[in-house]
Amino acid sequence: VATAAGVFTNTVFGLILVYTYLALWDERPHLGGYDQAQAVSFVWLGQALYATLAIQGGGFETELMERIRTGDVAIDLYRPVDLQLWWLAHDLGRALFQLVGRGVIPFAFGALVFPTALPDDPVTWLAFLVAVVLAMIVSFGIRFLVALSGFWLLDGTGALQAMVVTGIFCSGMTLPLNAFPGPLGEVVRALPWAAQLQMPADLLMGETGPLSAFAFQAVWAVALLAAGRLLQGAATRRVVVQGG
Amino acid sequence: VREGLRAYRLISAMWIRSTLAYRVSFAMTVFGTLLVTGLDFVAILLMFSQVDVLGGYTLPEVAFLYGLSATAFGIADLTIGSAGRLGSRVRDGTLDTLLVRPAPVLAQVAADRFALRRLGRITQGALVLGWSLVALDIDWTPGRVLMVPVTLLCGGAIFSAVFVAGAAFQFVAQDASEVQSAFTYGGQTLLQYPPTVFGRELVRGVTFVFPVAFVNWVPASYVLGRPYPLGLPRWAAFTSPLVALACCALAGLAWRTGLRSYRSTGS
């Protein structure tokens, strides 16, 4: 039931955004290099990937933070598997389920009701799927860093809130990143959030080649995972785990 | 009703005291809420950095719509938004505790975890509204001046009715807080943009079926002196209080039905 409810919500928000974008692109055709059909496709891609990429949180990070706060994380560190890989596997599973469960229906609805700019060649779709998986890893990398901040901050509400704000804004959920004006646009397009929604969308609509998209995403994925590893090392060496 | 208001006041006062126990944390969360809710206005600003008009409306006009909708929504969210968490209470059975207390359940549910931080949303909406009133060039007649506070109150009442109806729906659906947010947050987002942007069917739907258009679109078109897309007569703007009243009555009915049909989870 929760999944069905989520699908409904994504569809409603998608509708609202589509109409505003249509008005915006009506006023300024080719804003950010997109035409209307591409802007519409971008909306539905965003709604479809919203839950998968946990842009508004809702992945593993709240659970991990809670385990850090209660000290249960000590048990996780005992396990004969690596903490980061454990949660990565956990989160990829969730993301894949939500891609199918929450992504397909809003996307199909959008593609049927509005004119969209989707390719019909299967290779592009395959490349798109690869980009989505890379986006999932980047998304995990960001949220893993935020969750680990719990070792020092203990209460993660503020960090989570900051993550949601930057996530929604910098991933292009409110406005595609290529429509951001001037230097602000250049900055957000270089940040890791651009690897989440903008890259797969641009790839699917032929705005960018697969190799440069993959490279951008992979660089951020590796950098974030490495940073997570360093932070995890620092946390396990230096921080005393909560407990009683 | 008196008893309900008293219970509501007591419970919310308790939650306010408990939040104010950690003042810094409270100040930070209010500020955080203000930032989060401010983001959708930043998105509008970004759009207007690329265009001069959206759907024929200028930036101050859109800001006026946004301010009305956000403030009205903030009022409803502050007073009754906690009712959205009813679903989890139904699921884990803690609603039973509320049922045995000698106070109306609706008052208890609405005041449950009363979140004063939601003042952040009202503040942010009011700031945008204030700016738009300064920036707009309106020929202020007494009717138009009066329309602004009346609109805020009626809008708050309409959104409150949506919250209560959504809570009533959760008696049946249990895990459907997301459907509720489609109507509450979705409605609020919709109203931030001019009605001319949207398809005719959608505008018709939110005017006559799910009448959130009376939160700001209809009254604002009167204040701004613009024709409403559906060709509603000008006096329609003055029917907002009636619409609000009807919404509240329907929501109350839905709530009663929902509460009657409630069966505890059992053990």
Chain A touched by B267 (CB under 8 Å): no
pLDDT in tens, A4-26: 888 888 888 888 889 888 888 88
Instruction: Go through chain B and tell me how many residues it has.
Output: 267
Name the residue with higher pLDDT: B235 or A156: B235
Supply the pTM of this predicted model. 0.85
Average pLDDT over residues B154-168: 92
Q: Find the angle CA(A91)-CA(A97)-CA(A102) to the nearest 5 degrees.
A: 120
Question: What percent of chain B is helix, strand and coil (3-state, nearest 5)?
Answer: 80, 0, 20
CB contact under 8 A, B36 and A12: no
On average, the pLDDT of chain B sits at: 87
Structural contact between residues B206 and B243, judged by C-beta atoms closer than 8 angstroms: no
The DSSP annotation for A65-131 comes to HHHHHHTTHHHHHHSSS-HHHHHHHHHHHHHHHHIIIIIHHHHHHHHHHS-------HHHHHHHHHH
- The verdict on B46 touching A (C-beta cutoff 8 Å) is yes
Listed in sequence order, the residues at least 6 apart from B122 whose beta carbon sits closer than 8 Å to its beta carbon are B71, B74, B75, B78
- Cα–Cα distance measured from residue A182 to residue B252, given in angstroms and rounded to the nearest whole number: 51
Q: What are phi and psi of B57, to 5 degrees?
A: -105, 140
- Is A20 within 8 Å of B54 when comparing Cβ atoms? yes
Distance CA B192, CA B70 (A): 8
Is the CB of B197 less than 8 angstroms away from the CB of A19? yes
B121 Rama sector, left if φ>0, alpha if ψ -120 to 50, beta otherwise = alpha
Tell me if chain B has a CB within 8 Å of the CB of A56.
no
Beta bridge partners of B57: B54
Closest A-chain CA to B189? A16
CB A200 within 8 A of CB A45: yes
A36: three-class secondary structure by DSSP = helix
**Dist. CA A27–CA A30, nearest whole Å:** 10
CA–CA distance from A63 to each of A91, B144, B161 (Å)? 11, 51, 34
| 8 Å CB contact between B258 and B95 | no
Instruction: Tell me whether B24 touches chain A (CB under 8 Å).
Output: no
Whether the Cβ atoms of residue A45 and residue A54 lie closer than 8 Å to each other: no
In sequence order, what are the residues at sequence separation of 6 or more whose Cβ sits closer than 8 angstroms to the Cβ of residue A101? A3, A7
Structure confidence at residue B247 (pLDDT):
94
CB B39 to CB A19 under 8 A? no
Question: Rounded distance, CA B206 to CA B182, Å?
Answer: 13
- List CB contacts (< 8 A) between B212 and chain A: none
**Percentage of residues in chain B having pLDDT higher than 70:** 99
What is the interface size between A and B, counted as CB pairs within 8 Å?
95
The rounded distance, in Å, linking the Cα atoms of A134 and B210 is 41
Q: Which DSSP string do the residues of B225-245 spell out, in sequence order?
A: T---TT---GGGGGGHHHHHH
Per-residue pLDDT of chain A (244 residues; tens, 9 = 90+): 678 888 888 888 888 889 888 888 888 888 888 888 899 999 999 988 888 888 877 778 888 888 888 888 888 888 888 889 999 999 999 999 988 888 888 898 888 888 888 888 889 999 999 999 999 999 999 999 988 888 887 777 777 878 888 888 888 888 888 888 888 889 999 999 999 999 999 999 888 888 899 999 999 999 999 999 999 888 888 766 665 4
Per-residue model confidence (pLDDT) at position B21: 82
pLDDT at residue B116 tops 50? yes
Which two three-digit tokens encode residue A151? 């070792």
The letter for the amino acid at B222 is: Y
For residue A42, give the H/E element and its range.
helix A36-50
Percent of chain B's residues with pLDDT above 90: 25
Q: What is the DSSP letter of B213?
A: G
Q: B182 and A13: CB-CB below 8 Å?
A: yes
The arithmetic mean of pLDDT across residues B106-130, rounded, is: 87
Q: State CA B103 to chain mean position distance.
A: 25
The verdict on B136 touching A (C-beta cutoff 8 Å) is no
**Which residue among B51, B179, B190 places its CB closest to the CB of A9?**
B179
Q: Which of residues 154-173 of B touch A (CB under 8 A)?
A: 173
Determine the pLDDT at residue A240. 65
Contacts of residue B249, defined as CB under 8 A and 6 or more positions apart, other chains included, come to none
Handedness of CA B107, B110, B112, B113 (dihedral sign): negative
pLDDT at B3: 85
pLDDT digits (tens, 9 = 90+) for B194-210: 988 888 888 898 888 88
